[in-house]
Amino acid sequence: MKHPEKSLSKDEALKKAKRIDQLRTYLPVVGLVVIFVLFIFLTNGKMIAPKNLILLLNQVYVVMIAAMGVFFIMTMGGLDFSQGSILGIASIVICLLSPYSIPLAIAGGIFAGACIGAINAYFHVRRKIASFIVTICTMFLFRGFIKYFASDSPVRASMNVYDFDHIEFKLTCTILIVLVGFLAFRFTPFGTYLKAIGAGERGAMFAGIRTDRMKFFIYTLAGALTGFAAFINIVKNGSATANVGNQLETQILIALVLGGMPISGGAKVRFGNIIVGSLLYYVLYSGLTMIGLTTQELQLVEGVIFLIFVAVFADRKALKVIK
């Protein structure tokens, strides 16, 4: 009699664990739909006016592309606070190169981003400094450069960049990048390797994964992705001000956490976190703005929501030290 009883109880325990996992998976999606519908009512339909939808999408592109790099980093259990400064530097490079040739400008932006990513990687991987410390340092360092270049007057791009300012181009680029990222993450060893590094780096190393090389590559890739996102940003704005990319890192972090990303990375990470999270963040942001919240109130609400989501999604078993 003892044994069936025991296996039954184990089944129940497993079911309970599954329910929590399901909650983690579906809460962000359900939240997205609920909040979207809620704001449609609250704003008397203004939310789904075509003009506002395009505006909404316009904000999502940059964050979604840049968030993908950070998503990879966070999957490995790291953090990256330097994305805003990377976007700023890459934007300035793009503006400066745009009079010569647009492809050159794009390549320059990606290269600049990759370089800063590689600097992060060097100090984190080779010098073994925790990633959030390294990236906070580079965030301040490069913010300094941006202020130096763009404080007196914004760095203006050539008028040619406006040729790219149409929804087809921006949407196609974003979908393409996210799709390639998704396929690589979900259907090749790449994704499993990243998750293994996040779940247990030493174990991953002893299973034959070149962990250092992988980390170096991912930080550089994240920089390059943000470098490309900078082009989309310039296409929209036409110039780089001293505040370009300010707080992008926080927006990315909030977006990912809203999307259900466990803050310590590892096995429970889902690619959908990026897409749902970025959309959820901007629906919330636009919605709250439209119903007339001030910037201060907006930050307060953001903070509260952020805290709730971190509390729900943090995998406490894995939450020791973030690399």
Partner 1 sequence: MSEIRLQVQHLCKSFGITKAVQDVSFNVNKGEVHALIGENGSGKSTLTNMLTGIYTIDSGKFILDGKEVHPRNQVEANNEGISIIVQELGTLSGLTVAENIFLGHEEQFISHGIKNTRAMNRRANELLKQYDFSHIRAEDQIDDYNFEDRKFIEIIKATYFSPKIVVIDETTTALSQEGREELYKHMDRIRAEGNSVIFISHDLAEVLERSDTVTIMRDGVYIDTVKSSDVTEDDLKRLMVGRAVTGNYYRTDYGEKVSDEVVLSAKGVSVPGLIEDVSFDLHKGEILGFGGLSESGMHEVGKAVFGASYDRTGEVVLADGTEIDSIPTAIDHSIAYTSKDRDNESLVLNQSIEDNITLPSLRDLAKGPLQFLRDSALSAFAEKYATQMSVKMQGIEQFVSDLSGGNKQKVVLARWIGKDSDILVLDSPTRGIDIKVKQDIYQLMDRMRKQNKSVIMISEELMELIGMCDRILIMKDGKINGELTRSQELDENALIAKMV
Nearest alpha-carbon partner for 241 in 92, 111, 97, 124: 92
Task: Give the x/- contact pattern for partner 1 in 207-226, rule: CB under 8 A.
Answer: xxxx----------------
The Cα 194–Cα 323 span in angstroms is 13
Tokens at 66, concatenated? 């840049």
Please identify, using beta-carbon distances, which residue of 160 and 188 lies nearer to partner 1: 188
Please identify, using beta-carbon distances, which residue of 117 and 198 lies nearer to partner 1: 198
Q: By CB under 8 A, tell whether 172 contacts partner 1.
A: no
Q: By CB under 8 A, tell whether 318 contacts partner 1.
A: yes
Contact between 54 and 111 (Cβ < 8 Å): no
Q: By CB under 8 A, tell whether 193 contacts partner 1.
A: yes
Contact between 229 and 62 (Cβ < 8 Å): yes
Q: By CB under 8 A, tell whether 10 contacts partner 1.
A: yes
CB of 178 to partner 1, least distance (A): 17
Q: By CB under 8 A, tell whether 187 contacts partner 1.
A: yes
Q: Which whole-number Å values give the CA distances from 12 to 1, 15, 17, 19, 138, in the listed order?
A: 17, 5, 9, 10, 48
CB of 192 to partner 1, least distance (A): 6
Residue of the chain from 132, 164, 182, 315 that contacts partner 1 (CB under 8 A):
315
CB of 79 to partner 1, least distance (A): 18
Q: What's the alpha-carbon Rg for the chain, to the nearest Å?
A: 21
Could you tell me whether strands 155-156 and 239-240 are parallel, antiparallel, or unpaired per DSSP bridges?
antiparallel
Q: Which whole-number Å values give the CA distances from 253 to 18, 142, 155, 269, 278, in the listed order?
A: 26, 19, 27, 14, 10
CB of 10 to partner 1, least distance (A): 6
Q: By CB under 8 A, tell whether 127 contacts partner 1.
A: no
The kind and range of the H/E element at 211 are helix 211-237
Please identify, using beta-carbon distances, which residue of 127 and 317 lies nearer to partner 1: 317
List residues near partner 1 by CB under 8 A. 2, 6, 9-14, 187-190, 192-193, 195-196, 199-200, 202-210, 266-267, 315, 317-318
